[in-house]
Structure 1
Amino acid sequence: MSDEENKFPGENNTGHFWDDDLRELDNEPPTWWTIGFHASWIFVIVYTLLYPSWPMIDTHFKGLLGWTSIAEYKEDLKSIESVRAPYENKIKDMSAADILADDNLSKYVTASGKVLFGDNCSACHGAGGQGNVGFPVLADDDWLYGGTITDIETSINVGRQGIMPGHAAMLDDEKIDALSTSIFEGKAVENASYTEAGCIGCHGADGKGLSFMGSANLVDGIYRFTAADQLSSIKHTIKYGVNNPADSQSRIAVMPAFGGAKLSDTEIKKLAVYVHKLGGGQ
């Protein structure tokens, strides 16, 4: 377009106009933008030459530096393990009780045990050991199998699976209701059915349970199977029992064993110390 036809002569425009004065200019981009543009494609070329990038038929271009994320991970892991080594070497030959008694080792094990707890225990027992529906609290002082560091270590190592028979065939509904109410009120041993049904054999003459059997304390108001209607929950347990394979309505209460191939002896000791220090260890 000649300058005579251009409505804006001397202006660096393309000669395209809309609505009389709206036009397209033909200026060079700013210098900073040009520098950035060229720097970006140069960076891409250098990066793809130095690091793994282009796919090939059976492999990929591995980069001039030979860098891999796996190699970097192993290098970082090696540096972390070198820091942990003095502690790990010590606790390997110590008992969980000795670790708990050593303040420095106990702090170290608590930190690493938190990760183990999150990976293996928190799904059932909660992130802080507060328990979930159907699973015991680990942060109180009520333990079915004892709360000493040795008891806790044994529970983690070999697992726990108690058993309680259902009493629906032995006690009628009236007696079950009465016994449930007595347990709910903390007066289990005062009910005649407590002895008649043989509860005394597992829960003891005082109703406080026997830790070597994993039988519950029936007089402390703390329940293995919590519910909004706790009295009805107690009745259900008395009627159908716990871990009774012959009754589909029986309570299921099984803790798997973590010893053997699942966790190492050192990891089990760490977990035992961590659980003990949650606040409920004896």
Structure 2
Amino acid sequence: MADPNPFPGENNTGHVWDDNIRELKNPPPRWWMQGFWLSILWVIGYSILYPTWPLGEGPNRGLLGWTQIKEYEQGLARIEAKRAEFEDRIRDLSADQILADPGLKQYTLASAKVLFGDNCAACHGSGGQGNPGYPVLADDDWLYGGTTAKLTETITGGRQSLMPAHQTMLTEAEVDTLAHWVVAMAETGGEGGSEAGWNLFRSKGCVACHGQTANGHVVDLPNGDFIGVGAANLRDGIWRFEPGGFESARHTILYGVNQKDVPESRSAVMPAFAQPAGKLSAQDIKKLVVYVHSLGGGR
């Protein structure tokens, strides 16, 4: 700072740096001062109309009585009013009838996308591709069937398949034979299983769950559907438990699925989603049935 002021007569504070940088005392532009005072008036007006400063134990609620919750509820009410027509129609139709109506199907798919993301995507993936250890919903391989009736049954009551552990029922050689047979069946579409494997498959009772042809169908129905108990199709090359192959098949044969007294047993449980045990209404379940059926694998 220089002293005395080297710029006498100039409207400055007398503070000078680097010989010629000084602090002036000119007033701000008029437009700036007008904006400044208007902003103060705006804050005062806002504080009167909307919730702002605390008053006692709570905020000033404002003359308009506005709240974020009230605005949210009003917006939600408008959305529900627009949806009401479609929701009423869905309530009176079956999933198959919804699928047959292009406009209603489109609405249902859009509505169910959020339901799927909230309730199903954590296990089955955002697009039904299946996260590790969980079934794919976008293919045509179904453990219990892919009709709308079966999908409704699955989502409503959940699923918990069972496979006994064979570690005390089979010899090591028999386990290896069956595991190699499963791999050969998967790689050849069911045409390459060894005779020894087929003999063990039949004599050890595997046909009771996996079906006579090892396709997971206990009974094939005339309409193309089937009755099954959740046993895997051993002919299609799709592995229920990744990564698949000999070691994976051997592990499942030895320790089974959902065997509580076997620590190494596979876990495969889908919870029930119907109320009161679950959290989805019949309407929500119907929407999810349409959505899952439309992912690509419904029948």
Q: What TM-score, normalized to structure 2?
A: 0.89
- Which residue of 1 is the match for residue 202 of structure 2? 195
Confirm or deny that 1:248 pairs with 2:275: no
Find the residue that maps to 2:59 and give its secondary structure: coil
Match of 2:272 among 249, 257, 267: 257
Indicate yes or no: 2:163 matched with 1:148.
Answer: no
Can you list the C-alpha shifts for 1:154-208, whole angstroms capped at 9, x where unaligned? 1001111110001111112222112111111114574122123211111111000
Unaligned runs of 5+ residues in structure 1 are: none
Secondary structure at the residue paired with 2:262?
coil
Partner of 2:222: none
Partners of 1:280 and 1:24 lie apart in 2 by 77
Percentage identity across aligned positions?
Answer: 53
Cα RMSD between the aligned structures?
1.6
Cα deviation, 1:57-109, whole Å, max 9, x if unaligned, reads: 33221001111111111111111111111111111122112111222111110
Counterpart pick for 2:291 among 265, 274, 279: 274
Moved over 6 A (4+): none
Unaligned runs of 5+ in 2: 186-191, 218-226
In 2, Cα distance between equivalents of 1:135 and 1:188: 26
Which residue does the alignment assign to 2:99? 100
Matches within 5 A, 1:2-17: 6-17=5-16
Instruction: Give the conservation status (yes or no) of the 8 Å contact 2:255–2:264.
Output: yes
Deviations 1:116-167 (A, max 9, x none): 0000000000000000111000000000000011111110011111100011
Partner of 2:234: 218
In 1: Cα distance, 2:166 partner to 2:273 partner: 32
CA contact (8 A) 2:5 2:16 kept: no
- Residue 215 of structure 1 aligns with an amino acid whose one-letter code is A
Q: Which amino acid aligns with 2:102?
A: D
Partner of 1:169: 168
Normalised TM-score (structure 1): 0.94
Partner of residue 232, structure 1: 247
1:270 CA drift (Å): 0.1
Partner of 2:20: 21
Report the secondary structure of 2:55's partner residue: coil
Partner of 1:126: 125
Partners of 2:5 and 2:15 within 8 A in 1: no
- In the alignment, is the contact (CA less than 8 A) between 1:117 and 1:271 conserved in 2? yes
Helix, strand or coil: the match of 1:14?
strand
Summarize deviations over 1:196-225 as a string: whole Å, max 9, x none.
321111111100013431111001111111
Please give the secondary structure, in 2, of the residue aligned with 1:185: helix
User: In the alignment, is the contact (CA less than 8 A) between 1:188 and 1:207 conserved in 2?
Assistant: no
Per mean C-alpha deviation after superposition, the further-off stretch among 116-125 and 27-36 is 27-36
1:48 touches 1:63 (CA, 8 Å); kept in 2? yes
Shift of 1:31: 2.8
Counterparts of 1:75-86 in structure 2 under 5 Å?
A: 75-86=74-85
1:248-267 per-position Cα deviation (integer Å, ceiling 9, x unaligned): 11111000010123111000
